[in-house]
Structure 1
Amino acid sequence: MWVAGWLAMLALVATGSLMPSSGLPDVAFPGADKLQHGGGYAAMSAYAVMLFATRRARWTAAAGLLAFGIAIELAQGAFTVDRSPELADVFANAAGIVAGLLAARTRLALLLQRVDRRLAGAREQDGRAG
């Protein structure tokens, strides 16, 4: 279930990144799109921190997110008519990924494990009550 949520985030980013720019809201100020890139990739990276327990798995997910971001930029150039790849977007994505990785040093890193334990405990109690 948690992995499906992460994959849904990736699908939303891919969809938003490859749709015509005419379907997107105008940016409020110059550089706002870089904040959107950084924030989106920070969210996906922080979620990966919660999803994967080991440092190696987290760094693998981070590398995968960076590759995903680069692939999206290349796809914008190859498959869209009004979008273009930008190196600055890749740097904004990378900054977001690093920011998300910082969640590993907080209590946020264990959030999904705590939720899983509570759900498992509730299922056990339901099983004993019946």
Structure 2
Amino acid sequence: MSPRLRSFKPFSRPLLWACLWILALAAVVVASLLPGSDLPQWQVSDKTEHFLAYGLLSAGAVQLFSRRRSLVVVCVLLILLGVLLEFLQGAMGLGRTQDMRDALANGLGVLLGLATMFMPLRDALLRLDGWLFRR
């Protein structure tokens, strides 16, 4: 494996999985910055949406990265991203408001996703990769 990819688990296609995770991250950023009127209205709380989105991003990082240091860095960056996006929502004037409780929900979601590294399914993507792309 390339030295640049050594933080990843031993996937057959590490860049494929990394790109899919980055697309999910981009979707969260775009959804966070769209005007509120352009977003679908779900039957769940806004805080639940934040919690789930960042939890899934963090759990995705657990699926991708083998090194704890890499996971910690990614999770800290996700938390900082959530705070930054809240400030941008308040500054953009597009019908979105800055709400630090959303940033708190983001952070709690990141911690929940990070906790999946202690669960048996922490290597589910690695097993799927092996099944899809038998070496």
TM-score (structure 1 length as normaliser): 0.84
Identity of aligned residues (%): 34
Count of matched residue pairs: 120
Do 1:66 and 1:93's aligned partners in 2 also have CA atoms closer than 8 Å?
yes
Q: Say if 2:114 is the partner of 1:106.
A: no
Single out whichever of 71-80 and 95-104 deviates more from structure 2: 71-80
Whole-angstrom distance in 2 between the partners of 1:100 and 1:109: 10
For structure 2, which runs of at least 5 residues remain unmatched after alignment?
1-15
Aligned with residue 64 of structure 1, among 73, 77, 81: 77
Which residues in structure 2 correspond to 1:30-109 (within 5 Å)? 32-109=45-122
* Larger proportion of helix: 1
| Structure 1 residue 27: Cα displacement | 5.1
Which is greater in Rg? 1
RMSD: 1.6
Q: Say if 2:18 is the partner of 1:3.
A: yes
Equivalent in the alignment of 1:23: 38
Equivalent in the alignment of 2:8: none
For structure 1, which runs of at least 5 residues remain unmatched after alignment?
125-130
SS in 1 for 2:82: helix
